[in-house]
Amino acid sequence: MALRRLVGVTAFTVAGVGVWAHSRDDLTRRTRNVQRRLRCLLQEKGSDVTHSQPSSYFRSALAESSTPFSDSLEDIPYWAKSTETVPKKFPAKSSAIVVQPQVSFLEIRKRIFSNAESVNVLRGKVSHFQSCSFGANLEIEDTFAVEPRLKSSNGALFGVFDGHSGKAASKFCQDELFSFLKYICAENRNNNLISKKGFLIADECFLTRAFDEKRYQDGLSGACSIVSHISGNAITIGNAGDCRCIIARKISNESEIPKYRAIQLSNDHQISTNGSERERILREHPNEVNIIRRDRVKGRLEPTRGIGDGKYKRMEFFERSSAAQTESVWTPPYTTAEPEITQHRLTKDDEFMIMATDGLFQDLSSQEVVDFAAQFVHSNKNSPSDSKSQNVSGHLVEKALLAASEHRFGRVGEQENLNLILNLEPGGERRKVHDDVTILTVFFNGSSEHESDSAVSIGHNEPEPPTMRHCKNSHS
């Protein structure tokens, strides 16, 4: 994403504020709020930042935050899940605030929606889907994959992959995970595209190949992975990590915007939010002290499942990682690619499904996400194809950025908050305020009730094997 690279602190101007303020009082109040907020932020920085010589500070802040080795503590942002409610305390460590003249909502939306897409499917239960992603890292580490019209059945596959410590693992999931799932399904001669074995073998191949080709850095990268298979009215989810899948079920038609209940189809796999994952790791390593520190595996990794993350699974990757210089006890595997598999039967009130990386849920609950999405889906009910032009995923990305900005800077107004966050340097300061966000919203066709479709065979049209070299041993 070509986000403007900012080279210095431009004096704050209030000129842009007038564009959207409703009244003079409103304007004065908001302006004062913004100024107070900014003063406070600049004070946090102490004397380092002045309006006249900011760029050297900014450069050093950048230098501090870019670490050469990607498995350092840098992959652990400060905002790791907490159950506090907004407004939260500011992080103790202050950061470089670059203030620019405000850009308009139109410009903001152009940037946030720049890769938003809406795609018609019109097959089986799937009417259409929308995608949008937005990077906090210099190069976004999230990926997604869709195969909305599987050749051998009426089904559809959707996947969202949240990469960390580089992009190799999430890129691998995007390019190859579906092939592994199809291959294992064909081999098993059943209809279960989502299988534990599919995830596990894909993971083994990724790591073995990276090691054999001496791409150690690639093998150290990881990806939380969630895949859904929709066939007829049946949805099967495979989840390894902290991406999430939610169904929006209509529960009332009474108001103009119907009410929805968020039904979460996956559980997050993180130490901080999942007690059974914490216990699993402690149980599997009974004599290892300090295995969980700061709510992370070995004080470092937040998700407990995923593809890749070589050093948490194999000694040979640990030995080639920077962790080997400081950690004396290391007994992998700690994390696993084994997905939790859940199933759901769609009802006629299930209108859409959201699959997203945890960047969406950093400051928003599943129910809040569904409530926001409902507003966009129903904001112009007269046009039948409206939800197609609304880019619900784009609006949700915007909400996630707004929530992250309010969390970090306090609530100063939608436009100011979005400006504040968009003006942060990708990869550096921005990564400390929010995470990469990737959202797929899949809309269901309520009028088709193809109950029988779910029985359509998938397994017997032998798909091409994925690139299985290096996998002979694990593939039994």
Ligand X SMILES: *[C@@H]1O[C@H](CO)[C@@H](O)[C@H](O)[C@H]1NC(C)=O
What is the contact surface with ligand X in residues (CB under 6 A)? 113, 116-118, 122, 127, 250-253, 267-269, 274, 276-277, 340, 349, 389-391, 445, 447-448
Q: Cβ 449 to ligand X, closest distance in Å?
A: 9
Using a 10 angstrom Cβ sphere, with 0-12 exposed, 13-18 middle and 19 or more buried, the burial of residue 360 is buried
Q: Cβ 298 to ligand X, closest distance in Å?
A: 19
Please identify the residue of the shown chain whose CB is closest to the bound ligand X: 340
Q: Which is nearer to ligand X, 296 or 432 (CB)?
A: 296
Which residues lie below 8 Å from residue 332, measured CB to CB, with a gap of 6+? 311, 312, 313, 314, 315, 318
Q: Assess contact for 416 and 36: CB atoms under 8 A.
A: no
Q: Which is nearer to ligand X, 288 or 340 (CB)?
A: 340
Q: Which is nearer to ligand X, 55 or 276 (CB)?
A: 276
* Rounded Cα gap, residues 409 and 417, in angstroms: 8
* Rounded Cα gap, residues 157 and 166, in angstroms: 25
Using a 10 angstrom Cβ sphere, with 0-12 exposed, 13-18 middle and 19 or more buried, the burial of residue 179 is middle
The rounded radius of gyration (Å) of the Cα atoms in the chain is 23
Q: Which is nearer to ligand X, 253 or 287 (CB)?
A: 253
Length of the chain counted residue by residue: 476
Q: Which is nearer to ligand X, 217 or 228 (CB)?
A: 228
Backbone angles phi, psi at 112, to 5 degrees: -70, -35
Q: Cβ 264 to ligand X, closest distance in Å?
A: 9
Q: Which is nearer to ligand X, 222 or 238 (CB)?
A: 238
Measured at the alpha carbon of residue 214, what is the angle toward residues 208 and 216, in degrees to the nearest 5?
A: 80
Q: Cβ 273 to ligand X, closest distance in Å?
A: 6
Q: Cβ 127 to ligand X, closest distance in Å?
A: 4
Q: Cβ 143 to ligand X, closest distance in Å?
A: 19
3-state helix, strand, coil in the chain (%, to 5): 35, 20, 45
Q: Cβ 54 to ligand X, closest distance in Å?
A: 34
Q: Cβ 207 to ligand X, closest distance in Å?
A: 21
Question: Running DSSP on this structure, what letter comes out for residue 310?
Answer: G
Angle between helices 392-409 and 414-422 (to 10 degrees): 90
Tokens (6 digits) for 141: 């580490």
Q: Which is nearer to ligand X, 40 or 251 (CB)?
A: 251
* Rounded Cα gap, residues 86 and 102, in angstroms: 24
Q: Which is nearer to ligand X, 23 or 253 (CB)?
A: 253
Q: Assess contact for 269 and 381: CB atoms under 8 A.
A: no
